[in-house]
Structure 1
Amino acid sequence: MSTASTVPTELTRPEAQRPEIVELGLPAVENPGEVAPKDAREISKSFFVRLASLEEGTHEYQYVRNTLIELNLALVKYAAGRFRNRAEQMEDIIQVGTIGLIKAIDRFELSREVEFATFAVPYIIGEIKRFFRDTSWAVHVPRRLQELRIDLAKAVDELSQKLDHTPTTAELAEHLGMDEEEIIEGVVASNGYTAGSIDMPMDDASDHGAVPLSDRLGAPDAELEIAENVQALKPLIEELDERDRQILQMRFGEEMTQSEIGAELGVSQMHVSRLLSRITARLREGLLVVE
């Protein structure tokens, strides 16, 4: 997943590269990721105070900022736990949530007089939800239709309880204040949220047991096209003279070679070839005429 590159690599800092903690006036935190949540909240306050006084881009600023990230990774794991039932790997969800944590750290101000955890969790959850919204669809659809799918799901639940039946398109349109065409577009787009393989077995009560969906899907009937062409050719063949119809019968009905047809008609094989080319060209031209 590409989001991993957005998380700072300095989270694991060699000792030689750390600034002097005493000079920063901060408590020593050897393993920020192992600090208990309650202690992390108190330590974070000191680091936020120091972060506000440092120049962005300096080594000291990066040290304080990255320590804050490590101190508060527990918030990401807490928020990510709400999405354990999703198909995506938990590692990916935590990576995305960490991006939300970083955004919260960059935008947090102590003057807000609110706990950092209260401020950060909405950022983390919002980033995870945005990840699901942008990547979970099996077929890409416009953002407008992705959001409409959520509105439709809520509207169906509300109207089903109120009306005691599945709402119609007109009822959904009236409830949401939209046109019926927009509702239909949203319903069709919702079909693109999930997709399954046609080779996936389907359970049923038949004697044959589970069979792939592909075995139940229809396919174009090649014989149908042949039948259509035969019906279209009949009136064109009737317009041919008797000799041309005889040549067609011998070549395509009795499957005789051009030499055999020539011997039957008393002409050369080359002449038969020219006659067949002329006849088939005439029939082909008749089939391609658009009325």
Structure 2
Amino acid sequence: MQYNEHLGDVETFVEKNQKLVWKCVQQYKMVARTKCIELEELFQIGMIGMLKAYEKYDPSKFENVNNFTTYGVPMIHGEILRFLRDFYPVRVPRGKMELLRKIRCAGMMNLSAQEIAEHFDVSEKEVEQALEMRYVEQVQSMDAEIIDYENKEITLHDKISVSADYTGVFVYDFLKSLSEREQTIIEMRTWDATQVEIAQAVGIGQVQVSRMLTRIKNKYLAYCNGETVSPAIELQRKVTRERYEIMAAEGRSNKEIAQEFGCHIKTLKHHQRKWKQAEQAVDLYEATV
């Protein structure tokens, strides 16, 4: 049985702190619904984050950490966010997105499904499915032009500093170049968390969050200009499923394949998990189409 001298035995700790995990999970209800993920599954992911925090928690080694919540909540959020980031539907139904575009252009987003269906001569179910697509995260270029609430053309990376509303911005390679804390901050910002909420979750001040967002934007600009390429990004480009399957078909073990890629076997297993999650995401998404 695991035991942390600061928190007691693990079973008692888990029993007492399940509500903390559920509280974190509730923030992702809409995202879970659009990705066809049960909240119970997110709860299990959150529990993994809490158990990782349980194992590492030692207030004598941290500054400004007076209780487990301060340390544990960011790790719970981080675990959930990493899962959601990897659990990503690859394709979006073109017909539904086209209908959503027409609804928006007609200025009918606030009308009932029945009124919209009558206008476009489609079923109410088709309208409801199209409206749900507005919540589906779409991979976009950070330099894609968008229109803000003042009807000005700006780019998505501009919104890092001027708005919390840039849901769906996922530049995977760039995120991999950030530290774990930076990833947590930018991903919480993606889910519309305010700077104050992020500061409370990460355990730093709101001013520090603002500064980190500015640094992240500057890093992104440098990344776009080709000024920085992190080892993590280079490894990500090197470790592909196609290369793995070729070597596996040759009868090589995971250990031998990891050596060929120049990475630790745990890193290879991490990529395998991501490949499997991608498959599951596609299957789940296609089942709803």
Q: Do the structures match in fold with TM over 0.5?
A: no
State the TM-score bracket (shorter-chain normalisation).
0.3 to 0.5
Q: With the length of structure 1 as denominator, give the TM-score of the two structures.
A: 0.32
Ranked by relative contact order (alpha carbons within 8 Å, sequence separation 6 or more), the top structure is 2
Report the TM-score when normalising by structure 2: 0.33
Higher gyration radius (CA): 1
